[in-house]
Amino acid sequence: MWLTIMSFIGGPVVSGLIKAYQAKLAAGNTSERIAADLAAHEIAAQQTEIQSIYALRIAQIGHPWEPEKLAFYVTLVFYSKILIWDKVLGGITGGHTDEVTGAAGVWAGLIMSFYFAKRGFENVARIIRK
C-alpha cells in the first residue's frame, strides 16, 4: 500500500526507485540481482545529476531576491505600467503617468542599464574564460 502511495506522490524518480527496489526483492538469481542493483544506482545517479543541474542554475542566475534584482523589479513595474496601462490601454482607461524627472529618472536609467550591462559582461567573461 505504501509503495503505491509513494509512487503516486513522488513522481518518476521515486516510482523508479520503488520499481528498482521491488526488482531487487523479486530477483531470484545473481544476474537479476545485479541488474536490479545497477538500475537502483542509475536512478540515484540521475537524481544526483538533477540536483547538480539545479545547483548550477542557482549559481549562474542567482536568487530572485538579490538587491540588484529587487531594484530592477521596481523599475520594471514602473515601465510596464507606462507601456501597458498608459500606452496600450490608454484610450480605454485614460491612464497617464507623470514622467520621472531629476535624480529619480537618472537612477531608474542607471538601474536598468546596470542590470543589462552586468549580465552582458558576465556572459562575455564566461565565454572568454572558457
The 10s digit of each residue's pLDDT in 65-100 is 777 778 778 878 888 887 787 777 776 766 677 777
> Tens digit of pLDDT for each residue in 6-61?
545 556 666 677 777 777 666 666 777 777 778 888 888 888 898 888 888 777 77
What is the distance in angstroms between the CA of the first residue and the CA of the last residue of the chain? 51
Interatomic CA distance for residues 58 and 6, integer angstroms: 28
Same domain, 48 and 102: no
Length of the chain: 130
Q: Are residues 9 and 50 in the same domain?
A: yes
Number of domains forming the structure of the chain:
2
* Residue at a domain's end among 12, 33, 60: 60
% of the chain beyond a pLDDT of 70: 79
Whether 8 and 40 share a structural domain? yes
Q: Which domain holds residue 121?
A: 63-129
Residue 114 phi, psi dihedral angles, 5° rounding? -60, -45
Does the pTM surpass 0.75? The reply is no
How far apart (Å, rounded) are the C-alpha atoms in residues 109 and 75?
Answer: 9
pLDDT of residue 123: 83
Same domain for 50 and 68, yes or no, is no
